Structure 1
Amino acid sequence: MAGLDTEDERKEELETLQSIYPELDLDPAIPFAARIELLVAPSTPLPVTFAPEQDVQRLAYLPSLRLDIVLPAEYPAEAPPSVDISTTPSWLPATAIDSLRGEAKALWEEYGGGQMLFAYVSYLQEAADTAYGLAELTLPSSLKLGLLAYSARMKRELFDKETFDCEVCIEPKKGSACYRMQRCNHVFCIACLQDYYTNCIKEGDVDNVKCMSTECGGPKKKVRLISPKELLQIPLPRETVERYAKIKRKKKMEADPAIVYCPRSWCQGAMRTAKYPKITDVSQMDDSDSEADEPVEASQPQPSTGPEKRRIGVAGMDRLAVCEDCKLAFCQICLASWHGDFVRCEPRDSSQLTEDDQASLNYIMRNCSPCPTCAVPCQKSYGCNHMTCFQCKTHFCYLCAAWLSPDHPYGHFNDPKNKGCFQRLMDLAEGDMAQGDVQFGGRRGAEQIADFWEAEAMRIQMELNERDS
């Protein structure tokens, strides 16, 4: 009867444990034997060094811990359970495995020969949060690809099963329809991310391709743009991501006075430079490529009056530039084809503009209001005259180009002292070109007045000529 009672006690404990852990598998071939695999997800990703390359990777998930249990006939009164612990592949050190096995006997003794399987499995689960006491781990490089793939797969599978409230549309979505931002872990539904980022890139507003959470960014936080590699993972179409990468690169190069462009009118490609390598594969452009994405402080004075004057002191091969598009070798100073180290050349006069360049400059001067901070020309298509610069986010008045306080931008239009702008917030509401006779202030207003008096002088001269004739 005692043996029958022991069997019933063992059977009852295993069945109870299975009701708590449905993943517990009872072995039909071996009486009173079971196995269970426990998820290993350290609360802090475990640093793993792969030798001999000494490549360190932080893994959020490690291959599950397999626990094999056999309850002997003497269990629980006279003998502890027989346990075996293993992982596939074998990443857990032998010393850690021995320590976990020893804990089973220690718990059996602590429970005074009572049932202790639930306590033991709970202990293993809790210990997994600290990676079983491991602060770091060194493994052979042959396990690297497998472990990285497992960690990524488990992260995705568990994420897909959860439910999240998108921070944009505020609707509950399954993880399979969402994306977690890599740097800050904010979660948005894929549809919202695709719509927002696609529109930003389509309109050229690449400085807003960042996390949409209100907790990211701000006046005291450094804005981090999303890398092209992450945009592909959301996913965005490859051609859209390539446009994003090209616009970012173009903005950086245009803001850099050291960059020279090909003198061939049909080419106009930029010079080769290691600072801004030509884009070849956006799928390889990771976070490191966007770490330096900060607005250019164009209002800060430059140490020289122009790139040509700064380059006069460049000597020898430092003057040589090669176009990244047509491969022309040319001189950075005179922009002529490369003439060798020992030929003296003078910088091209920066005032010499082509007919198209001059026409473009004239249009900008007449039809755009400059930002008071970075001087980027802005043209309004519709809306009120409170403007925000695309480049440096400065608030300014479109009529007179005056700086506006971000906290009270509309006070400018309500102050009678500002005679040129008082109660004119909605002037040009239909766009700049719809009401071209509106009086401006500032530099643009001065251009208007100059054009008016120039036209008046020409009119008077024509009248005098007609009178004399």
Structure 2
Amino acid sequence: MGDAELDDERAEELNTLQSIYPELVIDADDAFAATLDLLVAPAKPLPVVFEPEQDTERLSYLPSLHIHIALPPTYPAETAPSIRVTTTPPWLPSNTAQKLVDEAAATWDEYGGGMILFSYISSLQEQAETAFGLEELKLASDMRQELVAYSKRLKRELFDKETFDCEVCLEPKKGSACYRMERCSHVFCVACLQDYYKNCIQEGHVNNVKCMSTECGKSGGSKRKKDKLLSPKELLQIPLARETVERFAKMKRKKQMESDPNIVYCPRSWCQGAMRSDKYPKITDVAQMDESDSEAESEATAPQNRSDEDGGVKKRSLGARGMDRLAVCEDCNLAFCVVCLASWHGDFVRCEPRDKTQLTEEDQASLEYILKSTSPCAYCSAPCVKSYGCNHMSCPICQTHFCYLCGAWLNPDHPYAHYNDPKNKHCFQRLMDGAEGEENAVQFGGRRGAEQVAEFWEQEALRLQIQINEETT
């Protein structure tokens, strides 16, 4: 660049602009021409509809706005700068691009023939935050893969450069060592996420595989923000080992099916597989299980219509069968009848449900143990056992609050009022009974209490009979 060019106010403006925007590139062959790429990151992700499929993607980043600047000899006194605006691929509508070009001349007129490049570029930056006023973008489907990949790549690159305070270990970490939750955008370091979720899955606490922030799931006004499980797809992105994620997906599906009274299991004792169900498809690839699967899990386990017209609690009818009698085992492919559990006998054969005398010894022993050693959930009847702690229970299947002593439903907003009410004679001031797990010394109420009393008198009668026999002999 010669001395005359250095003294030219056009070169001075470009050099000053380059000090503000280091990414500005001055043309090596023309000292009065330059190019600049502006980041396009809308404050709200822009909906992009790809035609003709009409698939919609919400993109947080779009390919940069490429600005080509040429300053004519009579700039700035007599002529406006020559501006050309393009994008690669060409996602910006031509009329919007032309509007941005015309804005340069309008700004030059407004300044009365002054240097306007900084003001013009600042204006483009502000407009980029609103996607240049676009509420929706319609593009050809052949651009979809490139635009989606660009948005994801740039989002990750910018995230990796930032520094975050992990909400668990409270240590500052670079974004490259962190993960942002997809649904709520809370940030944690990968090490904390892996340790917590791996432990939850190994211990079987799949309902705890949620965002660890204390802000998630809190009540907000009259509405409660849903506290949802992470999807297997997101767990793989953290990343967690594939076998760990597969265990999570299978355990979650198992809990769903166990809480659904319409699911019937194979009558073959060596199989016991679940019936095929469109609602709970068999897991083939956890990498394809996205957020919708977690949504379905929440809806399946969330209790509906808990109260009846009299203010009591409705128990789910475990005998209801809203389906055809034919079922097929997903493991051994046996076709069987859901009523009598025999091999499929056709539509015109009358069948009866099995009674308790048809249970195997093992099934009967399991049933007796469950009745004797567990308290049923007040809503879904799932058997629950307490290892230690107070008698305020929360069902692991449907999250219903109930009393472990008498089986009564508890108001989740005031669960301990049940133990402070003198009217509840059996449970009054007995919140911590059996806290150490010594249930043999605890007197239960409800169904379990009646069985406990019956067992006591049965043993007492047996003792008296033995005593009488010994005296007579």
Q: Which residue of the partner structure matches residue 325 of structure 1?
A: 331
Alignment partner of 1:58: what SS?
strand
Q: 1:93 to 1:424 in 2, by over 3 A?
A: closer
The alignment status of 1:229 with 2:216, answered yes or no, reads: no
1: CA distance between counterparts of 2:318 and 2:166?
50
Matched-pair contact (CA < 8 Å) for 1:400–1:444? yes
Matched-pair contact (CA < 8 Å) for 2:255–2:397? no
Q: Which of 319, 326, 329 matches 1:306?
A: 319
State how 1:144-293 maps to structure 2 within 5 Å: 144-218=144-218, 220-221=223-224, 222-292=226-296, 293=298
User: How far is 1:410 from its partner?
Assistant: 4.9
Alignment partner of 1:465: what SS?
helix
- Which amino acid in 1 is paired with 2:378? P
Q: How many residues align?
A: 458
Q: Which of 367, 373, 392 matches 1:367?
A: 373
Matched-pair contact (CA < 8 Å) for 1:400–1:445? yes
1: CA distance between counterparts of 2:201 and 2:89?
44
Q: Which residue of the partner structure matches residue 309 of structure 2?
A: none
Matched-pair contact (CA < 8 Å) for 2:374–2:385? yes
Q: Which residue of the partner structure matches residue 86 of structure 1?
A: 86
Q: Which residue of the partner structure matches residue 27 of structure 1?
A: 27
The alignment status of 1:356 with 2:351, answered yes or no, reads: no
The percentage of counterpart residues that share the same residue type is 68
Deviations 1:383-411 (A, max 9, x none): 34443332333444444444555455556
Alignment partner of 2:29: what SS?
coil
Q: TM-score, normalised by structure 2?
A: 0.87
Q: Which residue of the partner structure matches residue 381 of structure 1?
A: 387
User: How far is 1:94 from its partner?
Assistant: 2.0
Q: Indicate the larger mover: 29-38 or 166-175.
A: 166-175
Matched-pair contact (CA < 8 Å) for 2:314–2:379? no
Q: TM-score, normalised by structure 1?
A: 0.88
Matched-pair contact (CA < 8 Å) for 2:5–2:11? no
Q: 1:265 to 1:466 in 2, by over 3 A?
A: same
User: How far is 1:419 from its partner?
Assistant: 6.1
User: How far is 1:17 from its partner?
Assistant: 0.7
Alignment partner of 1:277: what SS?
coil
The alignment status of 1:297 with 2:303, answered yes or no, reads: yes
Alignment partner of 2:441: what SS?
coil
Superposed CA RMSD in Å reads 2.8
State how 1:336-351 maps to structure 2 within 5 Å: 336-349=342-355
Matched-pair contact (CA < 8 Å) for 2:45–2:58? yes
Deviations 1:60-108 (A, max 9, x none): 1110011122222222112222222221112112222222112112222
2: CA distance between counterparts of 1:38 and 1:108?
20
Q: Indicate the larger mover: 331-340 or 207-216.
A: 207-216
Where does the alignment leave 5 or more consecutive residues of structure 2 unmatched? Answer: 307-312
Matched-pair contact (CA < 8 Å) for 2:49–2:55? yes
Q: 1:51 to 1:305 in 2, by over 3 A?
A: closer
2: CA distance between counterparts of 1:305 and 1:99?
66
Alignment partner of 1:240: what SS?
helix
Q: Which residue of the partner structure matches residue 399 of structure 2?
A: 393
Q: Which residue of the partner structure matches residue 113 of structure 1?
A: 113
User: How far is 1:269 from its partner?
Assistant: 0.7
2: CA distance between counterparts of 1:132 and 1:323?
56
Deviations 1:211-255 (A, max 9, x none): 333333246423322222112112222222222222222222222
User: How far is 1:431 from its partner?
Assistant: 2.6
- Which amino acid in 1 is paired with 2:328? V
Where does the alignment leave 5 or more consecutive residues of structure 1 unmatched? Answer: none
Matched-pair contact (CA < 8 Å) for 1:45–1:59? yes
Deviations 1:423-451 (A, max 9, x none): 6554434334xx63344344333322222
Q: 1:379 to 1:39 in 2, by over 3 A?
A: same
2: CA distance between counterparts of 1:305 and 1:38?
62
